Homo-oligomer: A and B are copies of this chain.
Amino acid sequence: MSRPSAVQRQVRRRLAEGGAGFLLSQLGFHASTLWRRRLEPFGIGAREANLLLRVAADEGPSQRALADMLEVSTSLVVGVVDALANAQLIERRPRPDDRRIHALYLTEKGWRVAADLMKESDEHERDLCSGLRPAERTEFVELLQRLAVSHGLIPHVHPGFGDSRGKSWGRAQS
């Protein structure tokens, strides 16, 4: 069997152009990689940064609450909180009304780093969209937001994303 040319041409075109799905995945992963690179000087990973900012947005959550919000296991949260606590960016405080809970708060250093991360994030956004003109960038982000809404992806954290050396072509194609 060899080369039914109609199908082959179709496949070639699709692979060459890339559909919305493929491009979204490709760009999403690239964005992730760039973000991770920006975090290196801070000595934290993407998930540590994410957790830090979540706590900054609403202080005092329990680790359980964060695990639920981020849709991961509590045991995973422990390690991330440990890392952030070791770096003295957040601290666990006992809660008087329920001593089982370790409420999480940013340290002074944590707030400084959070502010720095927001600056970094602004640059990251500009860099990502540097191939677009200002009006196009606005339009692009709006379209992304509308798509996310239409797929029910806001305001929850997305359910997953590969790390820098995760499965290398798990979702590839279309």
Interface residues of A (CB under 8 A from B): 1-4, 7-8, 10-12, 14-36, 45-47, 49-50, 53-54, 56-57, 59, 70-72, 76, 105-108, 110-111, 114-115, 118, 121, 124-125, 128-132, 136-137, 139-141, 143-151, 153-155, 157-174
Contacts and interface: CB of A to CB of B under 8 A. Distances in A.
B158 A21 contact: no
Query: What number of copies of this chain does the assembly contain?
Result: 2
A65 B78 CA distance: 42
A47 B170 contact: yes
Contact of A25 (B7, B47, B158): B158
Given A23-B148, A107-B1, A121-B19, A46 B173 contact: yes
A155 B16 contact: yes
A26 B153 contact: yes
Contacts of A173: 35, 46, 49-50, 53, 121
Nearest to A162: B162
B17 A145 contact: yes
